[in-house]
């Protein structure tokens, strides 16, 4: 962190504030008409009324203090001043086999909190679900960003088969593979061997693990680092947070 106390307090204050993600460009004086769902959320869920102030962001123009205006039908807001400059997301892709329902919602939210820069669903032989609701994942990513004050909302891209991911893998991007069978018993040593600043990706498999032929294909890729997440078998959403914590602490922005 190492921020001066004033800025730190501001960030902490911001956390308690109401945040809303909007699509349109933001600048001082911008007036934003809200759609009915947003209006309902602000008026009926957050119980805000005309004149109340919230924070808004669009993932590109930083965070702005904005004032609500308008009556019961046409809710709008006006951007007043910028409270934080836009931050860039980490060059850290999170590749995961989709889970079912609530666990997937949860995993997406957690990956956003942990600072993933892109969410890439990957279909494997043992993937629990073939139908992936991208819009729902996007909504979960936005919700996590609103709650945790993240300005760089990670994109969620269309699912790809594992073989296609590997076939198109760019050599310069390190692929950190969470392998239950990795011999390496020290995941941090494996991560410290990588160069900071390298583009990163993390791959967490489905709860049944990867098929042996899939593991062979992954391990054949020269960009792969294998790491083991300890002797206990973790559920996939737990593994997501655990590996992202290790990666951020060694190679990412948890280390100054």
In the complex, the residues that contact its own copies under the rule CB under 8 A are: 1-2, 8, 11-12, 15-16, 106, 110, 113-115, 147-150, 180-183, 185-188, 208-209, 228-235, 238, 241-246, 248-250, 252-256
77 or 190: whose CB is closer to its own copies?
190
**CB closer to its own copies, 11 vs 132:** 11
Closest distance to its own copies from the beta carbon of 32 (Å): 25
Distant-in-sequence, close-in-space partners of 212: CB < 8 Å, separation ≥ 6? none
Q: How far is the CB of 232 from its own copies (least distance, A)?
A: 6
Length of the chain in residues, anyone? Answer: 256
The structure tokens listed for 238 are 């737990």
Residue (37 or 193) nearer to its own copies, CB: 193
Across-strand partners of 118? 93, 155
Min dist. Cβ of residue 187 to its own copies (A)? 6
- Comparing CB distances to its own copies, the nearer of 105 and 159 is 105
Secondary structure E strands in the chain: 19-21, 31-33, 53-57, 63-69, 76-84, 92-96, 118-123, 155-156, 160-161, 174-178, 200-204, 224-227
Q: Which of 74, 139, 47, 111 is nearest to 242 (CA)?
A: 111
Q: How far apart are CB 106 and its own copies at their closest, in Å? A: 7
């Amino acid at each position: 962190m190492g921020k001066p106390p004033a800025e730190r307090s501001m960030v902490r204050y911001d956390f308690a504030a109401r945040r809303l993600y909007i699509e349109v460009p933001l600048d001082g004086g911008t007036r934003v008409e809200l759609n009915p769902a947003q209006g309902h959320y602000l008026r009926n869920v957050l119980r805000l009324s005309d004149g109340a102030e919230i924070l808004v962001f669009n993932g590109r123009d930083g965070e702005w203090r904005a004032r609500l205006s308008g009556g019961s039908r046409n809710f709008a807001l006006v951007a007043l001043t910028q409270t934080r400059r836009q931050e860039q997301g980490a060059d850290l892709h999170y590749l995961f086999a989709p889970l079912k329902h609530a666990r997937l919602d949860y995993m997406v939210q957690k990956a956003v909190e942990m600072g993933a820069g892109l969410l890439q669903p990957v279909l494997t032989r043992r993937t629990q679900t073939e139908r992936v609701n991208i819009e729902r994942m996007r909504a979960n990513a936005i919700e996590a960003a609103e709650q945790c004050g993240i300005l760089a909302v990670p994109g969620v891209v269309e699912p790809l088969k594992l073989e296609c991911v590997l076939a198109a893998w760019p050599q310069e991007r390190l692929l950190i593979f969470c392998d239950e069978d990795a011999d390496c018993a020290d995941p941090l040593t494996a991560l410290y061997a990588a160069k900071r600043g390298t583009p990163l990706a993390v791959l967490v498999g489905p709860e049944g693990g990867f098929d042996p032929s899939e593991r062979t294909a992954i391990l054949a890729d020269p960009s792969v680092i294998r790491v083991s997440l300890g002797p206990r078998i973790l559920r996939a959403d737990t593994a997501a947070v655990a590996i992202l914590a290790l990666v951020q602490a060694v190679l990412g922005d948890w280390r100054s």
